[in-house]
Structure 1
Amino acid sequence: MIVGIPKEIKNNENRVAITPAGVKSFVNQKHTVFIQKGAGLGSGFSDEEYQIAGAELLDTIEEVYAIAEMICKVKEPIKEEYDLIKENQLIFTYFHFASSRALTEAMIAKKAICLAYETVESDDRSLPLLTPMSEVAGRMAIQEGAKYLGKPTGGRGILLGGVAGVKPANVLILGGGVVGTEAAKMAAGLGANVTIMDISLKRLRYLSDVLPANVDTVASNPYLIEEAIKTSDLIIGAVLIPGAKAPHLITRDMLKLMRKGTVLVDVAVDQGGCIETCKPTTHEDPIYIIDDVVHYCVANMPGAVPYTSTMALTNATLPYALQLANKGWRVACAENEELRKGLNIVVGKVVYKGVAEAFDLPLVELF
């Protein structure tokens, strides 16, 4: 198969879909890899390293899309890429369709094969291609939140871990999945008072066993969320419904209950956000303030630490990408249920329930 790796062109997206080691794996199995010049520089990989591994370099993104049967990316195609995509071309990347009607309609119109990292699902219902970036984003949420709690950026002027004689900050985490767990570890490690909320008592029992003593677990419901935000300094939105739009757990009216300078970090922004006042921001312009509450809603948080993120992501995606290349998407998805759940749009038809429901589109059964 001919595999194409374009340079990411989303704002401040420095990750790349494959490492030189990944290229070597494709080449060893008799596939051809074309990579756009400079695609790996942001992650610390030179063009020469890719050439040594066996990749062929192309000057432009247009050339990559034109020649490839399978495009491997990190982020969803943006508007400038829509017209480059060919009918029946396999696009393997994060899509997060439920948060963007424009992207969904564009991929339907292009009749591409859209296989989304974030909905590839294992038998235990874990999301193996979302997990590594959720780990990064969960940890970064605390780093960034701690930074924006500073007074110069509109925060309350609180040091996350406090000091001797001064109480630490109160951190509220909504969601006990991978993002929430990693955020809790980081916040607790820095000495904050942490509360993590989830609707699953089974998950909360597990978290209560494995997390440090300065982390409290609370069963989530609207009343308790409303009470908790009144005394929280940093709130992390970490709710995910695979492939579907995130529910709003914090509404616009609830901002008035928060103290001036509270910081909100909505990691669910890729799926529409679990905070009503959330709107996607970039690393270039990461925050905005509503009702004296600081919002940090960067849609590609792991892009700020591209070396770590690229290595972690490709460790997870490469085995699946090789299956797709070796067998073709039809056979690979027919034989592997995990991959099959990654299919969202196929030749103009929506085949993933969460996407169909998000935009009231007909759902087509593929297999």
Structure 2
Amino acid sequence: MKIGIPKEIKNNESRVGMIPAGVFELTKKNHGVFVQTTAGEGSGFFDKDYIDVGAVILPTIAEVYAKSDMIIKVKEPIALEYPLVRENQIIFTYFHFASSESLTKAMIASKSICIAYEMVEDEEGTLPLLTPMSEVAGRMAIQQGAKYLEKPIKGRGILLGGVPGVAPGKVLVLGAGVVGVQAAKMAAGLGAHVTIMDISMKRLRYVNDVLPNHVVTAFSNEYAIRQHIKTHDLIIGGVLVKGGKAPKLITRDMLNEMRPGTVLVDVAVDQGGCFETTRPTTHEDPTYIIDDIVHYCVANMPGAVPHTSTLALTNVTLPFILKLANNGWEKACEIDLCLSKGLSIVKGKVCYEEINEAFNL
């Protein structure tokens, strides 16, 4: 099979779909790999590194798409790429269709094979290709939130860990999934007081067992959320609905109940966001303020740490990429039911009702 690795062109996205070690595994099985020039530089991998393991370097993104049976990416195609996607071409990447009607309709029209990283599901019901980026994003949410709590950036002027004689900052984490647990872990490590909320008692018991005693759990409902937002300095939205839009856990009117300078970090922005006032931002212009509340809603948070993120992503995607390359998408999905759950749009047909519901298709 001919596999293409284009350069990511989304704003400030420096990750790359595959590292040279992954390319080596493909070329030694006689697959052809086309890499767009400088595609890996943002992650610390250079054209020579790819050439040394058998890849062919191409000068333009159009050539990579034109020559490839399967495209390996990190982020969803953006408008400039829509015309490059061909019928029957496999696109294996993060899609997050429920957050973009234009992307969904473009991929339907292309009649390509769209396999979404975030939809691949293992036997235990976990999402193995989403997990590493959720881990990165959860940890980064605290790192970024701590920065934007600083007064020069219009935050409350709070040091999360506090100092002797001064109470630490308070962090509220909505969702006890991968993002939430990683965020709580990082916040606890800084010495903050952490509350993590979820509607699953099973997840809350897990958090209670594995995290320090100064991470407290609370059952999530609207009343409880309204009470907690009044006293917390940093609020992390980490709720995931597989394949669908995230629920709006914090509404516009709730902003008036928060203290000025409170920081909201919406890690669910790729799925539409779990705050009503969420709108996607970029690393170039990451925040905005509504009613004196700082919003950080960068849609590709792990892109800020591309070396770490690219290595973590290739670790989990490569086994599936090899199956697709060795067997073709139909046979690969027959022999691996986990991979088959990633099939989102196939030859113009939408495979998930959540996507249809999101846009009344």
Query: Which TM class, normalised by the smaller chain length?
Result: over 0.9
Cα displacement (A) at 1:29: 1.3
SS of the equivalent of 2:84 reads coil
Task: Name the counterpart of 2:158.
Answer: 158
Q: Does 1:225 align with 2:225?
A: yes
1:266-318 Cα deviation digits (max 9, x unpaired): 00000000000000000000000000000000000000000000000000000
Count of residues paired in the alignment: 361
Task: Name the counterpart of 1:22.
Answer: 22
Cα displacement (A) at 1:360: 2.2
Letter in 1 for 2:28: N
Task: Name the counterpart of 1:73.
Answer: 73
Task: Name the counterpart of 1:113.
Answer: 113
Q: Percent identity?
A: 69
Distance, in Å, in 2 between the alignment partners of 1:355 and 1:121 is: 17
CA-based RMSD: 0.5
SS of the equivalent of 1:166 reads coil
Distance, in Å, in 2 between the alignment partners of 1:315 and 1:357 is: 33
Task: Name the counterpart of 2:202.
Answer: 202
Distance, in Å, in 1 between the alignment partners of 2:249 and 2:239 is: 9
Cα displacement (A) at 1:28: 1.3
TM-score normalised over the length of structure 2: 0.99
Distance, in Å, in 2 between the alignment partners of 1:353 and 1:338 is: 18
Distance, in Å, in 1 between the alignment partners of 2:34 and 2:330 is: 22
SS of the equivalent of 2:345 reads strand
SS of the equivalent of 1:34 reads strand
Task: Name the counterpart of 1:297.
Answer: 297
Distance, in Å, in 2 between the alignment partners of 1:133 and 1:353 is: 25
- Residue correspondence of structure 1 range 1-367 to structure 2 within 5 A: 1-361=1-361
Distance, in Å, in 2 between the alignment partners of 1:352 and 1:22 is: 30
Cα displacement (A) at 1:59: 0.4
Distance, in Å, in 2 between the alignment partners of 1:212 and 1:285 is: 34
Distance, in Å, in 1 between the alignment partners of 2:241 and 2:30 is: 38
Runs of at least 4 residues off by over 3 Å: none
Letter in 2 for 1:288: Y
Gaps of at least 5 residues in structure 2 are none
SS of the equivalent of 2:217 reads strand
1:40-81 Cα deviation digits (max 9, x unpaired): 000000100000011010000000000000000000000000
SS of the equivalent of 2:275 reads coil
1:308-357 Cα deviation digits (max 9, x unpaired): 00000000000001101111001111221111110110011101222122
Distance, in Å, in 1 between the alignment partners of 2:360 and 2:78 is: 22
SS of the equivalent of 2:196 reads strand
Task: Name the counterpart of 1:364.
Answer: none
1:237-264 Cα deviation digits (max 9, x unpaired): 0000111100000000100000000000
